[in-house]
Structure 1
Amino acid sequence: MNDLKPKVSLVIPVYNGADYLHEAIRSALAQTYGNLEIIVVNDGSKDGGATDAIAREYGDSIRYIARENGGVAAALNTAAEAMTGDYLSWLSHDDLYAPQKVERDVDALLALDTRERDRSIIYSDYAVFSDTPDRATEVRMEGVRPEAFRYWLTIKNALHGCTLLVPRQAFAESGGFDERLRTTQDFDLWFRLAGQYRFHHLPEVLVYARSHAEQGSVKMAGTAYEESNALLERFLSGLTSDDFKAAGYTGRFDAYTALARSFWRRSFVPAARAASNAAFSARNEVPFSGQIRLLSMLVLAPLEMRFWQTVRRVLSPHRRARLRMMASLLTARRRVRGLETGDLKKRFSRIYKENIFGGGVSRSGEGSDLVQTEIIRREIPSLLKRLGARSLLDAPCGDWHWMQKTELGVDQYIGVDLVEEMIDLNSRKFGNEHVRFASLDLTRDALPRVDVIFSRDCLVHLTSADALRIIENFKRSGARYLLTTTFTDRQKNNELAGSNAFWRPLNMQAAPFNFPEPIALINEGCTEERGKYQDKCLGLWELADIHIPSMPDSGGPP
């Protein structure tokens, strides 16, 4: 395999696909990634040769395989055996890829540690449409750590198989897709692979899934229901205490109760009963009040199930996706609402413990994964070398997910953060004579004197008053330089309020900070929120050139 540009096999299985196959193949041919082969597998279409004729129109630009009908699983297994690529990317014949889909998958893969790549699978967000992709409804995945993926797959069931990039050897090791399954073959394989591979989330919409009446999941609804119940029951029996712990549950009772409620809501009655029974069998793990909670859930669950059955009958799939997205946003806002007030230490400790930023690999959020930090991991050491810097204060350091992959080239690194639990863990895992960590409050504690203070994604989470206090403290430390986050295209800075209660972009050259022109800028190449923050940069200033206005008396807006 060429580590710099691994070959990818883009596979399109198709059965009676004359209506949409042209669009899918054109979507595949439009990929910006160069080291690519396109394989179309005709799974015994019975449409008078229409599907066959369309595939053959593309000649040598694709590899075409015709086989007897065996179902999607058999067609995908055929492609996996025939592929010459290092990785497989599956595109349903009625769906579409964003032009950069494969390229972004490979970027995310190559951002991982070399030792991880061969045991990793990339998946991304997607969007659902019925008429045109321009009117698609986005489906955003939660950030899930790889260790918690099996539980998440069981309770959410929201993954789209066409978003994945899967190593070729995974199919040989696992036996591939189960050809006895007609509608759940993908989820069955992902769950089995999650025991051996790490699933990494790429927070970008790269697949457009078409919703129409001829879909297999619609035409085989009865089969899908039976298979899904059986699949969820197998998942249920396959989950371990490690899966529950990784998902944030302290015991079986709460983990099974949450699963039961999810299954009831999705109308998977046999699976819901199995999960309820599993929770009931673990009832002695909790006090009597907890057992009452389970009984209440079991009483209310059928009512909730009937509500969601009505929703599914009335709303189209892309409208249901929009409803789920709105519900997720409301849940997230409820979680953040409790963080709007209170001291900084309590707020950020709760963020860490509950993973409120939703990071799949880092508790600091998706902006701290190895994809979003690829550029700065390369540019920061180069900048420090040009400055002749020998010491750096990382404030705040977070869980050190991406910084541990960065060769800074300094004699002394000091990482500080408010969350004591995280600092203790960082010290045990990463501390040495050149790297140390300390729990400090940036607004008031004395800071060690260094050449450069690095403060990424910090001030954006604070009121202007707290941010100004921190900058003043940076100046008191005696450091020469400050390298911090700035959004260069923003004309003004908003205060934390309402829907922006815990984050907003800041331009450090705008009021109330009014920094001068930076000495240097590093554009991070941020791709979050579909490029909404392409102006996200790290700006370098001499602290002596930064002048702080009079400090406000309270922690509110200045």
Structure 2
Amino acid sequence: MIPVTIGLPFYNAEKYLADAIRSVFAQTYQNWELILIDDGSTDNSLKIANSVKDSRVRVYSDGENKKLAARLNEIVQLANYDVIARMDADDLMSPTRLEKQLKILKKYPEVDLVTTGLYSITNNLELLGARWHHATSITFDELLYKRGCGVVHAALLGKKSWFERNPYDTTLKIAQDYDLWLRASSKNDFSIHLLQQPLYYYREAGAATPKKMLNAYRNERVMYKKYAKRKRYFLIVKSFLKSFIVKVLQNLNQFQILVKRRSAKVIDKDVLNQFQTELMQVKQTNVKGLKSFYSRK
């Protein structure tokens, strides 16, 4: 069995960190270590992380706020194993996520990275929808022009050697993942398989705000100037147009129109039943010593 390092950076995530940790312990694949790395939290997140009593769990905290990209690079340095999976502290993952991703990595040795589709959920773990990329692979142009769902960053599992060759750019404030995909793909070092199954539970609330979207589009234009070899000005103009639409909808109090478009509504009863079954498995998973240290007000 291939051992896996799971990297979970966190910052002020006391509301959700226990759920994220529980979903790691709920995995059908159990040959893993979990690295919990604090990014200078000021709430009870670090207490929650330190409450877990399991030799497979390591907690790191230096009291600094270095941001996500720096912490992801640190996880690569700290990892004991040659395969690394990541997730965000406010999300959960399907109990079969690691098992299914590792099967792909074993089946296709030329592949460096595997990601999955996602379930879009509320903060209270209610299902909003699901989305995944339209194919099992993605080209540089599809990344650049943002065709399809793209790469679900937090659901990534890959070879440590790839992350060592392709570190995150810590000088970027946002969209470090998008820069990494484009940078790696532009030098033909982005061999990735996209599983067309929702194996990651993504808390949608707060993920899309006018401020975040405008920042993302601003950074998008930087990426176009950096990587686009053709249609550069067309892409930049299109990005400015998207920013304009966000501002108009925000002024009209209609911004939720954009949020609702992010995930397709789940109408398939089998998909809904699968989600509910897996979520129950996570909720019922016992983690020795785990405490929430969070009281709902």
TM-score, length basis structure 1: 0.43
- Quick one: which of 190, 194, 204 aligns to 1:201? 194
Higher helix fraction: Structure 1 or Structure 2?
A: 1
Q: Which has the higher contact order (CA 8 A, sep 6+)?
A: 2
1:35 matched to 2:28? The reply is no
- Quick one: which of 7, 12, 22 aligns to 2:3? 7
State the SS of the aligned residue for 2:61. Answer: strand
Change (3 A) 1:309 1:11: farther
* 1:212 Cα deviation from its structure 2 partner: 2.6
Alignment partner, residue 164 of structure 1:
156
Q: Distance in 2 between matches of 1:217 and 1:177?
A: 24
State the SS of the aligned residue for 2:170. Answer: coil
Give runs of aligned pairs for residues 253-402 of structure 1, distance below 5 A: 256=231, 260=234, 264=238, 268-269=239-240, 302=241, 306=245, 310=249, 313-315=255-257, 317=259, 319-322=260-263, 325=264
Change (3 A) 1:221 1:530: closer
Alignment partner, residue 140 of structure 2:
150
* 1:218 Cα deviation from its structure 2 partner: 7.0
Q: Distance in 1 between matches of 2:121 and 2:237?
A: 25
Deviations 1:452-472 (A, max 9, x none): xxxxxxxxxxxxxxxxxxxxx
Contact 1:204 1:529 in 2 (8 A): no
Identify unmatched segments of 5+ residues in structure 2. Answer: 275-297
Q: Distance in 1 between matches of 2:192 and 2:273?
A: 23
TM-score, length basis structure 2: 0.77
Change (3 A) 1:111 1:221: same
* 1:261 Cα deviation from its structure 2 partner: 6.4
Change (3 A) 1:303 1:531: closer
Contact 1:170 1:193 in 2 (8 A): no
- Quick one: which of 69, 91, 103 aligns to 1:73? 69
Change (3 A) 1:81 1:261: closer
1:212 matched to 2:205? The reply is yes
* 1:304 Cα deviation from its structure 2 partner: 11
Give runs of aligned pairs for residues 539-554 of structure 1, distance below 5 A: none
Change (3 A) 1:51 1:529: closer
Identify unmatched segments of 5+ residues in structure 1. Answer: 238-251, 270-301, 327-527, 533-558
State the SS of the aligned residue for 1:207. Answer: strand
Q: Distance in 2 between matches of 1:155 and 1:51?
A: 37
Change (3 A) 1:202 1:226: same
Change (3 A) 1:23 1:263: farther
State the SS of the aligned residue for 2:262. Answer: helix
Bigger Rg, structure 1 or 2: 1
The amino acid across from 1:208 in the alignment is Y
1:64 matched to 2:59? The reply is yes
Contact 1:136 1:208 in 2 (8 A): no
Change (3 A) 1:262 1:233: closer
Q: Distance in 2 between matches of 1:53 and 1:79?
A: 20
The amino acid across from 2:122 in the alignment is S
* 1:310 Cα deviation from its structure 2 partner: 2.9
Q: Distance in 1 between matches of 2:208 and 2:242?
A: 29
Q: Distance in 2 between matches of 1:304 and 1:17?
A: 29
* 1:309 Cα deviation from its structure 2 partner: 5.7
Contact 1:122 1:165 in 2 (8 A): yes
The amino acid across from 2:205 in the alignment is H
Contact 2:246 2:255 in 1 (8 A): no
Contact 2:140 2:182 in 1 (8 A): yes
* 1:320 Cα deviation from its structure 2 partner: 2.0
Q: Distance in 1 between matches of 2:42 and 2:246?
A: 39
Q: Distance in 1 between matches of 2:143 and 2:168?
A: 17
Alignment partner, residue 382 of structure 1:
none
How many positions carry a matched residue from both structures? 261
Contact 2:16 2:89 in 1 (8 A): yes
* 1:124 Cα deviation from its structure 2 partner: 1.5
* 1:29 Cα deviation from its structure 2 partner: 1.2
